[in-house]
Structure 1
């Protein structure tokens, strides 16, 4: 195998900060946070997801990447004062304020991170920055990468005389355009401010100082690992010394998402660990994103491997209160041939804590109305149901109310069935093998909406009779009343449903939609790693409780202490982000 590639020297000169916030000059447009329950957003994202899944089954871009050279990157000599620093961040390209808040802290040359006791822990910016998946939302595209990732990061570190390396793994959102935009952005040697991309494929291996290796796996849409990628890592494994250790990254925390309801979710990683890694004791730390919070599990066996989810780079917060306290890997229910005996992993720490996560759930009752256009969905549904219900039962208050026309009854049944089916697709149980429970949950949700529509129609009938309205006026009032009730009260019914559904069982139902609908931008996180001179790896889990609102600084070149160009955006209220440790630094020895 050829010698590993090395990072080229710094290029270019410090750019001048424009005098005004001009998208054409800055190269990006500042984007707000994604409102996931907005109808237009749901439709576009759903369509692209469906297309990517269909075509992904027939065309795997990872196989085409085998034509590109991808020798391991050698950073083993990039030691400063006997130490090497590495940053890991994931799920980052959402709204500008949250993404820029995290980027501003990754850009700082040094951070002092206080622990729970107020004791500061000095850290340095990573010589290497790893983006662990879902670099932009809602779907990958050239404009989304420019606006939601490149723009915020370039504004926080426009240039540096100490350039840093950037590597990225694709998550499911990066795969929604077939990986086209990801390969263009990260596999062509482009600069993102003071970071330069160096990879040629969507997966990578890096030789680090102290006998450590960093491996990044592309799992596509959670399907499997392709043969070319397996062959690549097997060739890399031949270079791993017997006393070396490995940090493994991939874009989804299979250790959390596997279990009784998903017994084979861990199978691809289990297969990789036992067939590619020379000695499984070499695997000391696994890093992932996808779930937008911090969670650390520790193996209860002799090896004591650490598995960390750190998906707080900018996307909406995903609650932690449904995280299992213990997981078994591989799951006992797995039918994977040749799997190793299960190991129990204990949840050691999560951020935000479970009590805070439970409290944050209630925000959905107000946040659901801030999803642009969401009210239109229940308004239209209530309008159709109300009019059909009124036509099918023209005299609900009369003794002969059951004498309705058959066509209108059939239409009403069809509408109810379509609503039930649609809400069934909406339930968070779609990933689990429990169709009966999904049907029951969506049935109760449907019944709640149908009951409100029925009360509306009956109320109009009784009100018109009490006021002495003519029959024509009463009939005309039904569509208006159904529309208003649907737009005003329909979202509240959905919000209450999401709250109640989250309480259903240990895993909950629609917990993802409960938090996506709120689009909480606070509670950000990333992890910083240090390799000491003796080869010991230390993990510093970083939290940022509040996402800062930023305003353009402008006004020519801005320098700080002669150390390159400062960021081009500053906090609106003058209060800088306040990073701190989620938990005390975690020591990871090279061997158990």
Structure 2
């Protein structure tokens, strides 16, 4: 009997051919933060993690159960000889949509990256021997599956064996804590190897000894923005190994110098106290550079001595505005030197909230249900015995006589008050929330009036009242899904651009994948630190498979002509051991250095 071609794979001893490779990347889209399911899941996990985190601090358990070297030594190579130079990459707030996360990952994992600054000068940089994740390594909440699809896979496919795997160290952010740091610990603190990196740390905080007297410290502030006692003792011991001329790069998950102004009434003063204690009492003012994420943009502040405070939270998560909060000057003489995107662009992007309905369709469906419940009973009462279109006064009277509509209306107002921003104080929050809620009720009444006017002429044709009421309900559902989100969008637009409120909500609603960034740090042979702030104006939206071993698995599709290559946000920042030095662009290729290999770590433990 003849064997069909489709049966060949079933013949014993015959193996089926390889499955065809997919034509599109396996990644996920940007998180839709106003999706009711995402809101409910994230809120529940935040509540549970906050509750259990206060009662059982995992850091205290790890301090006992997970011994960790005092410092990982990258001041020497794997043969024990002092390093002349070192390259290090800093990426924060990643693990969101594929396009943004992979665009950053493919640049980070490239063996070399030629970057152009505003003057047209080209700076050739090299992929970091060490990779530091600065916080919030996954969105919306931590889980093994989300880490794998949103963080691990993009970096594995971006590296694609093009160069050595960097040694990875990760600082946990609040999103990493949403499962009690369980998934973070499994991925980053158990010595697991990935095709994209090699992990080293055993706890959620660490210290790196770098060439020429530089150190990098990564802290874990948990959900309460607090340093636990074992962590303080750990960094005290690290500080005891520092010489008087050594300098420190301090990596925190949140920028205290901005967060204090973002939520001045939220009781966050202790965050600054913790950092002040670590900086002044433990490190003795050795900190030359503060690095942080959490805010998904780039901002740099500098003082007269050249000390830097840099926010670089552009590893893949949605964009945050730069025109709020207004932090041109911060305590200690720190002055803002750069922001990305520019504040004018940030203000213009806020207007995208007028397209809130199209950007958040599932939230539109939710608002359609709310508006239907608000107006359906009113419309049904108006339809009874209607011989013509009702007046608006009749609509209001019908609403006041509907107990269900009154109760739900009160719930809407209470919900909008709870949603309102409190940075201007409780009175402002109540006023803004009530006005927002009343706007929804007014629009719902107008929509109900319009639906009743449309249904009235059809009353004679729709003989059964159930048909007429169902028709009214469908109109309310569709109309509410369109205009309800628009009310929210207008509220967020006015709140941010006029009243300087709701920066997080007004931009999380947009899920903008562009304006991404990361930092490339170079410790040169003279002991100077050069910081290259790398920006992505528009990340690719279309990808195709790479064709050569020198390429990552996925490369930008040339048909996507709007995508822009990475370039410097501002000229490189050169920092000396004690004071910032004038910028001296490096236009040639980087000099030779001791490269790490996968078989042997580049540095040992102290």
Q: TM-score range by the shorter chain?
A: 0.7 to 0.9
Aligned in 2, Cα 1:550/1:107: closer, same or farther, shift over 3 Å? farther
1:459: Cα distance to partner?
2.7
Greater alpha carbon shift after TM alignment, 460-469 vs 121-130: 460-469
Give the Cα separation in 2 of the matches to 1:587 and 1:529: 10
In the other structure, the counterpart of 2:6 is none
In the other structure, the counterpart of 1:503 is 497
Greater alpha carbon shift after TM alignment, 56-65 vs 570-579: 570-579
The 5-angstrom pairing of residues 326-345 of structure 1 reads: 326-329=328-331, 343-345=332-334
Aligned residue pair count = 543
Aligned in 2, Cα 1:117/1:327: closer, same or farther, shift over 3 Å? closer
Q: 1:69 aligns with which of 45, 57, 67?
A: 67
The 5-angstrom pairing of residues 543-582 of structure 1 reads: 543-551=535-543, 553=545, 558-560=548-550, 566-573=551-558, 578-582=565-569
CA RMSD of aligned residues (A): 2.8
Q: Would the aligned equivalents of 2:189 and 2:199 in 1 still touch at CA under 8 Å?
A: yes
Q: Once the two structures are superposed, what CA deviation does each residue of 1:297-323 show, in whole Å capped at 9, x if it has no partner?
A: 1135xx442100001111111111113
Aligned in 2, Cα 1:476/1:166: closer, same or farther, shift over 3 Å? closer
List runs of 5+ in structure 1 lacking aligned partners.
1-17, 330-342, 561-565
In the other structure, the counterpart of 2:239 is 237
After TM superposition, the score normalised by the length of structure 2 is 0.83
Give the Cα separation in 2 of the matches to 1:546 and 1:48: 32
Aligned in 2, Cα 1:468/1:411: closer, same or farther, shift over 3 Å? closer
Aligned in 2, Cα 1:475/1:272: closer, same or farther, shift over 3 Å? same
Q: Would the aligned equivalents of 1:294 and 1:311 in 2 still touch at CA under 8 Å?
A: yes
In the other structure, the counterpart of 2:287 is 283
In the other structure, the counterpart of 1:438 is 429
Aligned in 2, Cα 1:183/1:398: closer, same or farther, shift over 3 Å? closer
Q: Would the aligned equivalents of 1:368 and 1:517 in 2 still touch at CA under 8 Å?
A: no
In the other structure, the counterpart of 2:152 is 150
1:510: Cα distance to partner?
2.1
Give the Cα separation in 2 of the matches to 1:103 and 1:85: 16
In the other structure, the counterpart of 2:37 is 40
In the other structure, the counterpart of 1:357 is 346
Give the Cα separation in 2 of the matches to 1:39 and 1:286: 36
Greater alpha carbon shift after TM alignment, 143-152 vs 580-589: 580-589
1:242: Cα distance to partner?
0.6
Q: Once the two structures are superposed, what CA deviation does each residue of 1:486-545 show, in whole Å capped at 9, x if it has no partner?
A: 01221222211111111243xx22221221111111111001111122211111111111
Q: Would the aligned equivalents of 2:392 and 2:449 in 1 still touch at CA under 8 Å?
A: no
The 5-angstrom pairing of residues 386-401 of structure 1 reads: 386-390=375-379, 397=391
1:160: Cα distance to partner?
5.3
In the other structure, the counterpart of 1:50 is 47
Q: 1:295 aligns with which of 292, 296, 299?
A: 299
Q: Would the aligned equivalents of 1:392 and 1:405 in 2 still touch at CA under 8 Å?
A: no
Aligned in 2, Cα 1:485/1:215: closer, same or farther, shift over 3 Å? same
In the other structure, the counterpart of 1:590 is 577
Aligned in 2, Cα 1:82/1:400: closer, same or farther, shift over 3 Å? closer
In the other structure, the counterpart of 1:257 is 259
The 5-angstrom pairing of residues 422-433 of structure 1 reads: 422-427=415-420, 429-430=421-422, 432=423
1:221: Cα distance to partner?
1.3
After TM superposition, the score normalised by the length of structure 1 is 0.85
The 5-angstrom pairing of residues 262-273 of structure 1 reads: 262=266, 264=269, 265-273=271-279
The 5-angstrom pairing of residues 42-191 of structure 1 reads: 42-67=39-64, 68-71=66-69, 72-78=71-77, 82-159=84-161, 162-191=164-193
Q: 2:514 aligns with which of 500, 511, 522?
A: 522
Give the Cα separation in 2 of the matches to 1:448 and 1:201: 50
In the other structure, the counterpart of 1:31 is 28
Q: Would the aligned equivalents of 1:392 and 1:412 in 2 still touch at CA under 8 Å?
A: no
1:154: Cα distance to partner?
0.3
In the other structure, the counterpart of 1:337 is none
1:19: Cα distance to partner?
6.8
- SS of the residue corresponding to residue 519 of structure 1 reads coil
In the other structure, the counterpart of 1:411 is 404
Aligned in 2, Cα 1:403/1:69: closer, same or farther, shift over 3 Å? closer
Q: Once the two structures are superposed, what CA deviation does each residue of 1:265-309 show, in whole Å capped at 9, x if it has no partner?
A: 4222122222211x21x1100000111110001135xx4421000
Q: Would the aligned equivalents of 1:256 and 1:327 in 2 still touch at CA under 8 Å?
A: no
Aligned in 2, Cα 1:326/1:356: closer, same or farther, shift over 3 Å? closer
1:223: Cα distance to partner?
2.9
Give the Cα separation in 2 of the matches to 1:448 and 1:285: 47
1:445: Cα distance to partner?
1.2
- SS of the residue corresponding to residue 375 of structure 1 reads helix
Q: Once the two structures are superposed, what CA deviation does each residue of 1:391-419 show, in whole Å capped at 9, x if it has no partner?
A: 6878964998887698x544333212211
Aligned in 2, Cα 1:106/1:383: closer, same or farther, shift over 3 Å? same
Aligned in 2, Cα 1:316/1:494: closer, same or farther, shift over 3 Å? same
Give the Cα separation in 1 of the matches to 2:254 and 2:489: 28
- SS of the residue corresponding to residue 176 of structure 2 reads coil
- SS of the residue corresponding to residue 533 of structure 1 reads coil
In the other structure, the counterpart of 2:474 is 480
In the other structure, the counterpart of 2:324 is 322
Correspondence 1:494 to 2:500: no
In the other structure, the counterpart of 2:220 is 218
Q: 1:459 aligns with which of 450, 458, 461?
A: 450
Aligned in 2, Cα 1:467/1:549: closer, same or farther, shift over 3 Å? closer
